[in-house]
Amino acid sequence: MNKKMKFSIYRYNPEVDTQPYYQDVEIEVTNLDKKLLNALVKIKEQVDDSIAFRRSCREGVCGSDAININGRNGLACLTDLAKLKEPVVLRPIPGLPVIRDLIVDMTQFFHQYNSIKPYVIDHNQMPSRERLQSPKDREELNGVIECILCACCTTACPSFWWNPDKFLGPAALLHAYRFIADTRDEATAERLDDLNDPYKLFRCHTIMNCADVCPKNLNPTKAIGKIKEFMLSRVI
Amino acid sequence: MSLPILKFEAVIVGGGGAGLRAALQLSEAGIKTVVLSKVFPTRSHTAAAQGGISAALGNIEDDNWHWHMYDTVKGADWLGDQDAIEFMCRQAVDAVVELEHYGMPFDRLENGKIYQRPFGGHMANFGKQPVRRACCVADRTGHAMLHALYQRNVKANTKFFVEWMALDLIRNENGDVVGVTALEMETGQVYVIQAKAVLFATGGAGRIFQSSTNAFINTGDGVGITLRAGLPVEDIEFWQFHPTGLAGAGVLITEGVRGEGGYLLNANGERFMERYAPTAKDLASRDVVSRAMQIEINEGRGCGPNKDYVLLKLDHLGVEVIDQRLPGIREIALQFLGIDPIKEPIPVVPTCHYMMGGIPTNYKGEVVAPFGANKEEVVKGFYAAGECACASVHGANRLGTNSLLDLVVFGKSAGNSMIKFIREHDLEYKELPKDAGEFSLQRVQKIDASTSGESLAELRHEMQRIMQQHAGVFRTQKVLMDGIEKIEALYARAQNLYIKDKSKVFNTARVEALEFINTIEVALATMICAEARKESRGAQAREDYPERDDANFMCHTLFYRDGRKIIYKDVHVAPLTVDYIPPAKRVY
Amino acid sequence: MVKRIVTGAKYGFSSWLRQRVTAVIMLIITVLFFAFLLNLALHTNSSIDSWRNLFNDFLVKFVVQLFFSALVLHGWIGVRDLWMDYIKSNLLRLTLHVVTLLWLAVNFIYSIKIIWA
């Protein structure tokens, strides 16, 4: 089944464009072009090789191709073409500076991720074998460690748009919870102290855009709630 | 025109498992290091590894590294270097424990130890019966490992140049490596990076094939650069076809499915692996299973309207096992085929997955190349680890889960060798040749200056078609000879490559063009070396030479780009401490 | 580009908790109030005097004052959140904070005056 599909793609190249604009593109898609990424690659190959976007694994584990698709953040490689309303409007994920076309500068996003100390802190002498952890304790990390850092959630979060510099955003907070929840981590108190801040965590107003758009079906809002539970358990 | 020069004691090209493990070693030692990566490190293809990382922890059943070593030697069809294999298997337990200490969230047993699952070719008692050796994080082991390594590098304050692409090696008149040239994608600027030691951890080149589990970024840059620098690549004819790539989409379905009890069915509903591998059945090593599948398909027992795939059945495992141990697989099958594996089997085909060959190294991660009479002279300042390197532990066929192990063991080993080298040569950076960077700059300018020529997309599709048709699971002389002719013709056309986009800022067309120039080198080398090896061994299955020929071909291929020269070097038959494992017939 | 940011005021959680606790207090008192109104409606002999008497009771005065205190505190946190979300200029935000505080303080004093008069 071949059919023509229309796309409207955000274009901006700082070398030549003073303003961003939308480029209308029409291509033929076949049965083999199941996902939006297939169409994007085809557009780049057949129509205009100057359209810039990131992509790598094409199976939803690397987190490269987060794009705002018809107004909603998602991964191009996991978005079914058949379900998209035409013309398919493609824009860079919002709230981050655009470098070119669909490529945004993610420095701020990763800066926030780094700021939560994203590593297990354990000052004990390591045993010669693995540290033990019960399957139940390990299960706490499910729904958190699957995060691919695509930034769909953070850039869909109004609190992040309002305070991109001070609010950590859902992705970084999800990871903050990942290390609080890990029974091997010893720095829970320091982590909670650090997050106890009117901006870093408490700009979250449970709008839940994050959970809504997460391509891995994770729920950062729930993780943020769990961080608050930890904080509560400290004071009562 | 002079290029800006940056200086780092150590430059690591590639931010996947091997690159990050090496970076950690160097950063923690206080060496001034930078990691160049085409993508943000957690986007590297290590993230796509699913099934596990092998180590004879013996958490469930008796196991030890000697058995692991035996399996690896046998899996490699005796083309692996036994010193390197011993080195890796002995380090495996410590390597996995270290990853746990780094915070990798392994699945656990009731007693709190790391959970282990069976995997293809993992046997106890020197090949007697299957053993549980694969340590895993559900079916997202690579993802969890890559993130843990990146996180540890955040802690170690490692410096990253993200979205930088290495272009060429810089060698001085002695042949020593003294730096690399690299392109910063965001600005389009080419830099010379002077270094005391350079590590390539650039991953594979699975994108040479049409049907591949590999990511877009797996374009064999390290191998291409090495060939252009006048150095050889080793055993590049050996490509692993993973038995279970999702039919049509090419996405990987982990061997862990079969490890957890799934099995393959042909159109008659027969569990055909029982015929091909009576003991290991569906858990025979990958080359064996892929060939069996291809035979079933070729003989008309494939499934579906075109009889072009077989089925991977796992619904009998139950929802609980699937959701706990294989949640990613369920997600992939639903996403890409709309099939829920708790109810229906998954259509699968052998799909290009892994490059066993690569830049020749020893087990220390030092790149070695023939020089004078010595076929393994160390190239000073040059190191390689991971899929782009050939140590050679995987020989003619890699065992599942040995790749993640390879990354951390040889990443660390290469890191340590670099530290030693840098400390020994503590004093000065070696002088750069006067024309350093000139070659790269010319290559980039040639692309920029082209006003017409061959379309990149067409060349790439053509290469992938040729490789698929002429260097697939089964190979013959005629098909390979035709393949060489076609790929040489394509190689010539590729010299006249043209892209429309001439901009500087994040010009992804230019990046793809530069990648393709590397990829085509790998494709060409593969075809030529496959033709030259007139035997069947591991992943190289020659229908016209169906037997392994130890007398003539128990040796590594070394391919040079100039003159398409091939020489052979001996397999290392002396392990470090244990007895040599002599060749035997390979049955599973 | 990452700008250096200044965060780390250690009061996020206490505010969040206060906002919830005051909400619960207001909810309980509101329910009690409606229960009383219902009671009043059901009893035909109720009059303006029984209404007035109610507010002469110390306990009732205390509860009503508690309600208004909770309201002021709750309002302060909520409105401050608004300013923190949307107002980027430090000076403007501080001004709005002060205005909000003054306004709430006036309201609070007025509530004392009414309840305890």
What pLDDT score does C2 carry? 54
Chain B's closest residue to A133, CA to CA, is B112
What pLDDT score does C4 carry? 62
What pLDDT score does C5 carry? 65
User: Of A157, A73, A37, A151, nearest to B40 (Cα)?
Assistant: A151
Other CB atoms within 10 Å distance of the CB of residue A90: 27
Q: Which of the residues in chain A have pLDDT under 70?
A: 1
pLDDT tens digits for range C64-113? 999 999 999 999 999 999 999 999 999 999 999 999 999 999 999 999 99
Distance between CA B224 and CA B233 in Å, rounded? Answer: 9
Are B57 and B89 a contacting pair, CB within 8 Å?
no
Taking the Cβ of residue C111 and every Cβ of chain A, the question of whether any pair is shorter than 8 Å is answered with no
Residue the block writes with tokens 């965590």: A201
pLDDT tens digits for range C13-44? 999 999 999 999 999 999 998 998 888 778 76
For chain A positions 88-127, those within 8 Å of chain C (CB to CB) are 97, 105, 107-108, 111
| Partners of residue C13 in chain A, C-beta under 8 Å | 196, 202, 228, 231, 235
What pLDDT score does B558 carry? 98
Q: Between the CA atoms of A159, A182, B150 and A148, what dihedral angle is there, to the nearest 10 degrees?
A: -50
ipTM: 0.97
Are B26 and B211 a contacting pair, CB within 8 Å?
no
Report phi then psi at B441, rounded to 5. -60, -40
Are A109 and A164 a contacting pair, CB within 8 Å?
no
Report phi then psi at B457, rounded to 5. -60, -40
Q: Could you tell me the CA-to-CA distances from A126 to A123, B104, B191 in Å, in that order?
A: 8, 14, 41
pLDDT tens digits for range B422-454? 998 766 899 999 999 999 999 999 999 999 999
B76 burial (CB, 10 Å; 0-12 / 13-18 / 19+) is buried
What pLDDT score does B543 carry? 96
SS3 B161: strand
Strand ranges, E, within B33-114 = 33-37, 53-54
Q: What is the mean pLDDT of chain B?
A: 96
Q: Which residues pair with A72 in a beta bridge?
A: A69
Distance between CA B587 and CA A134 in Å, rounded? Answer: 39
Active site residues of B: 286
Residue B210 C-beta-side C-alpha neighbours within 13 Å: 18
Are B473 and B291 a contacting pair, CB within 8 Å?
yes
Report phi then psi at C24, rounded to 5. -65, -45
Distance between CA B174 and CA B103 in Å, rounded? Answer: 43
Residue C2 vs residue A132, higher pLDDT: A132
User: Of B159, B202, B503, B564, nearest to B382 (Cα)?
Assistant: B202
Chain A nearest-CA distance from C95, in A, is 18
- DSSP state string for B341-410: TTTSPEEEEEEEEEE--BEEB-TTSEEEEEETTEEEEEEEEEEE-GGGEE-SSSTTSPPTTHHHHHHHHH
- DSSP state string for B366-384: EEEEEETTEEEEEEEEEEE
Residues with Cβ within 8 Å of residue B18, at least 6 apart in sequence: B201, B385, B386, B387, B389, B406, B407, B408, B410, B411, B414
Nearest to C12 among A105, A107, A197 (CB): A197
Q: Which residues of A148-186 are buried (b: 16+ CB within 10 A; e: fewer)?
A: bbbbbbbbbbebbbbbbbbbbbbbbbbbbbbbbbbbbbe
Nearest to A198 among C5, C9, C86 (CB): C9
User: Of B11, B39, B23, nearest to B153 (Cα)?
Assistant: B23
Other CB atoms within 10 Å distance of the CB of residue A123: 6
Nearest to A162 among C9, C11, C85 (CB): C85
Q: Could you tell me the CA-to-CA distances from B18 to B44, B48, B181, B262, B357 in Å, in that order?
A: 11, 14, 21, 30, 16
The pTM of this model reads: 0.96
Token digits of residue C94? 């501080």
Angle at B178 between CA B173 and CA B180, to 5 degrees: 115
Are A84 and A36 a contacting pair, CB within 8 Å?
yes
Chain A nearest-CA distance from C51, in A, is 39
Report phi then psi at A157, rounded to 5. -95, 120
User: Of A83, A92, A97, A98, nearest to A39 (Cα)?
Assistant: A83
Distance between CA B198 and CA B422 in Å, rounded? Answer: 11
Taking the Cβ of residue A196 and every Cβ of chain C, the question of whether any pair is shorter than 8 Å is answered with yes
Taking the Cβ of residue C11 and every Cβ of chain A, the question of whether any pair is shorter than 8 Å is answered with yes
Are B251 and A59 a contacting pair, CB within 8 Å?
yes
| Partners of residue A231 in chain C, C-beta under 8 Å | 13
User: From the candidates A112, A159, A163, A234, which should be mutated to test the interface with C, based on the most C CB atoms within 10 A?
Assistant: A163
What pLDDT score does A201 carry? 96
User: Of B91, B408, B105, nearest to A131 (Cα)?
Assistant: B105
Are A2 and A23 a contacting pair, CB within 8 Å?
no
- DSSP state string for C2-42: PPP-----TTHHHHHHHHHHHHHHHHHHHHHHHHHHHHHHH
What pLDDT score does C57 carry? 86
User: Of B55, B223, B214, B218, nearest to B145 (Cα)?
Assistant: B55
User: Of B539, B534, B526, nearest to B551 (Cα)?
Assistant: B534
Cβ–Cβ pairs < 8 A, chains A and C = 54
Token digits of residue B438? 């000139």
Taking the Cβ of residue C113 and every Cβ of chain A, the question of whether any pair is shorter than 8 Å is answered with no
Distance between CA B299 and CA B578 in Å, rounded? Answer: 44
Q: Which of the residues in chain B have pLDDT under 50?
A: none
Whether the bond between B54 and the residue before it is cis, its omega within 30 degrees of 0, is no
**Is residue C1 scored above 60 in pLDDT?**
no
User: What amino acid occupies position B30?
Assistant: G
Against chain C, the chains showing at least 3 CB pairs within 8 Å are: A
What pLDDT score does B425 carry? 74
Residues with Cβ within 8 Å of residue B32, at least 6 apart in sequence: B8, B9, B10
What pLDDT score does B58 carry? 97
Distance between CA B179 and CA B197 in Å, rounded? Answer: 7
